[in-house]
A and B are shown apart, each in its own frame.
Chain A
Amino acid sequence: MPQITQLADVFASQLFWLAVVFGLIFFGIGRGMLPRVRSAVDQRDRRVAEDLEQAKAARTTAEETEARWRTRMDEARVEAARIAQEAKGASARETEARVRDALAEIDSKVELARLRIRDAVAAARTELEAVAAEGAQQVVQQLTGISVDRQEAAKAVQSELEMMTPVER
């Protein structure tokens, strides 16, 4: 086994070079580079933690803003519904009033027309009565030779006409 047979010859050399190499690894890398790697990791961890904190704060703010916005939206929606309701009511009332006015106008027009018709009818009748009475007077005189009083003839015609067409009053 060379490790044992050579031990005495190479031990000093092995020890020396191990000391050199291990020393360099320990001081140069272990104490020189390792802390820098570690600090980089720590820095990143800290940064990540900070960023997370900030993100959390931002989220809280966003949530608050959203809640505020939502309540405002709700209020606005209620307000809008109210205004719409009011407008609808107002317009309904207005329409109703206009319809009523128009109806009244139409009614009055109809009434007026009816009155005119009645007058016309009455006028026509008096004319007709006069003509009829005169006609009847002449017919009676020619047929019977009896001279009928004008007033009597008129009364007879009137009663006869009344029987034919009941005059609406």
Chain B
Amino acid sequence: MTAEGKIDPMHQFTIEPIAPLHVGGYDISFTQSAAWMLFALALIFTFMALGLRRELVPGRWQMAVEGLTGFIDDMVKVNIGPEGRKFVPYIFALFTFILVSNLAGLLPLAVIPGLHPFTTTSQFSITGVLAVLSFSIVVIVGFWRHGLHFFSLFVPHGTPAVMIPLIAPIEVISFMVRPFSLGLRLFVAMIAGHILMEVFGSFIVSGFHGGAMGLGVAILSFLFIVFVVALELLMCVIQAYVFALLTTLYLSDAINLH
């Protein structure tokens, strides 16, 4: 990370291969990004498995699991309606994967030498694919349920006929922008927070070598970084929620039109 005292805040996003793997000309090496995804999977699986006792009087863990599933259920029910029930597993997978990945990236693992947390959701290749996946599901569901009538989504209800040539292209553009906004929002939020933490962390390190003035800067940076970490924890949850919520809203558009 530090090359001759210089700190590169972007280095933390570099994907490093752990075990090279090539299949049919494709490089699908097991990277540390893949390892962190598997870690998220393991966390989610453990969380769910421990809450799967199906007892009549739930324990704390079961309450937590049921709280999470109930939260997803409610979100889908409120935004899509009763027809949204079959999308619950997808929304659940999105929410838990993003949430756990976000939070795993904030684990203070750097205190153990040689270990660095890696945020898979700070990779556009991940958030972009998830966004495209959500968008594809919306488009497929829309056309499957409504056929060509799905295009009426681009003409908001009650638009005067004269305005349609003007409104429809805007609606099409706003619709097409959805996957980008969906993927970029999460990616940018994660990357910005991590860069901020890295930069202020480097201020602390170099502040210690900069005399009294540097010490003051280091202390200020430390206070600031505490605040930023708290904000980032909040951001992790909010971004996961926003991603899942927007997906349900887009699905609601596709299922209910207007």
Contact = CB atoms under 8 A, between A and B. Distances in A.
Nearest to B53: A40
A36 B54 contact: yes
Contacts of B120: 18
Contacts of B27: 9-10, 12-13
B139 to A, nearest CB: 18
A140 B66 CA distance: 144
Given A1-B10, A26-B90, A12 B28 contact: yes
Contacts of A57: none
Interface in A76-95: none
Contact of B92 (A12, A14, A30): A30
B30 interface: yes
Contacts of A28: 45
A38 interface: yes
Interface stretch (B34-42, B197-205, B229-237, B249-257): B34-42
Contacts of A163: none
Determine the interface band of chain A, counting residues with CB < 8 A from chain B: 35 or more
A7 to B, nearest CB: 6
Interface in A1-51: 1-4, 6-7, 9-18, 20-22, 24-26, 28-31, 33-34, 36-41, 43-44, 47
A15 B48 contact: no
B129 interface: yes
Interface residues of B, number: 52
A16 B56 contact: no
Interface string B19-31: 0010000111111
21 contacts: A2-B13, A2-B14, A4-B124, A9-B27, A10-B33, A13-B30, A14-B125, A14-B126, A14-B129, A15-B125, A18-B130, A22-B133, A25-B97, A29-B93, A31-B89, A33-B49, A33-B52, A36-B52, A37-B66, A37-B69, A40-B55
Given A13-B28, A29-B92, 14 more contacts: A3-B122, A3-B125, A12-B27, A12-B28, A14-B15, A14-B129, A21-B34, A21-B41, A22-B133, A29-B48, A30-B90, A34-B69, A37-B48, A41-B70
Closest 9 CB pairs of A and B: A30-B89, A17-B34, A40-B54, A16-B28, A14-B125, A26-B93, A21-B37, A2-B14, A12-B26
